[in-house]
Amino acid sequence: MTTTAAPSPSAAGLPDDTPALDVEGLRVDLSTPSGRVRAVDGVSFSVRRGRTLALLGESGCGKSMTALSVVGLLDPAAEVTGGAVRVRGDDTLRMTPAERRKLAGPVLSIVFQDALTALNPVQPVGRQIGEPFRIHRGLSRREAHEKAVELMTRVGIPEPRQRARSYPHQFSGGMRQRLLIAMAVALDPDVLIADEPTTALDVTVQAQIMRLLRDLQDEREMALVLITHDLAVVAQRADDVVVMYAGTVVENGPVREVFAAPRHPYTRGLLDSVPEHAVRGRPLPAVPGSPPELSAVPAGCVFQDRCPLVRERCVQERPVLRASGDGRTAACHFSEELDRV
């Protein structure tokens, strides 16, 4: 996908139009007790520094698997079987594990959804936040601790010097998420991936965390890949959106345009399902059925079972992502009909 951002400062002296992260045709297979399934099937997107790209989709659509492939943290049962993940122009999928580890932190970083399991429960948080500085920058324990306190101050932990000696369970959910974010941005990555960073949090705390992420992104010129199922978060926070369904990308483009006039029936269905648009007492226009299991993704269009526009061609032939020249693409044989509905 091409973004239409104003030129942003380049990473590592590359020309301005080089994306900070460029994923192309990513394929991930997953071994399950019932056989091998394709969890991610030809996913492509790219994002520049300073921009925010949302990977939007429901559970099992492959968005988290995509994120984990990008940072090289896939479960052993999953395997990348094709495609490229380029950062600073190099394909990380062709790197040795040691080379990839060097990228983790200074170039690519990730914030997980569940801060309690993502943090080490038996280590003071200050030591965990300082760890990247010890590993990548060779700082001493004391210097790393100072850096950790600085970062904790930056992400809004009160009394950071004392709190650095506390353990994860002694923090609230919102504070733990702040700690994870501190750790993730410690080495000023080019790309920050945030996997449902606020899903587990209360509404007022969610707003605080989203604001923190936005401020950090602005001051560090990071590219942000926001993995979420929340349409409102996408609408408010992202520049571009990649809509995923059953392991594939069904639509992508600038958020405003996609949400104003979706070109895939699934995107349309999602937007219609939001209760905010509904009239109380009237049924919500729900998408019938549920997403296919990965072991039973239909041969033709992945959305055919739930699609209001479905016809013979959709069963026969899987639609490819078609670019329409305005920075948008959609994988639907009949997307023109959606504009008219």
Residues that bind other proteins (CB under 8 A): 58-60, 172-175, 202-208, 210, 229-233, 235-237, 255-256, 259-260, 266, 269-278, 280-281, 283-291, 306
Q: How far is the CB of 29 from other proteins (least distance, A)?
A: 19
Residue closer to other proteins (CB basis): 147 or 176: 176
Cβ distance to other proteins smaller for residue 44 or 208: 208
The distance of closest approach from Cβ of residue 40 to other proteins in the complex, given in angstroms and rounded to an integer, is 17
Minimum Å gap between C-beta 77 and other proteins is: 15
Cβ-based nearer residue to other proteins, 85 or 175: 175
Residues 6+ apart with CB under 8 A from 247: 38, 39, 40, 41, 43, 61, 62, 294, 297, 302
Q: Measured from the CB of residue 84, what is the shortest distance to other proteins in angstroms?
A: 29
Minimum CB distance to other proteins smaller for 114 or for 188: 114
Q: How is 24-72 classified by DSSP, letter by letter?
A: EEEEEEEEETTEEEEEEEEEEEEE-TT-EEEEE--TTSSHHHHHHHHHT
- C-beta of 246: minimal distance to other proteins in Å? 12
| Beta carbons within 8 Å of 151's beta carbon, 6+ residues apart | 129, 182, 183, 185, 186
Nearer to other proteins, 142 or 169 (CB): 169
Tell how many helices (H) and how many strands (E) occur in the chain.
13, 12
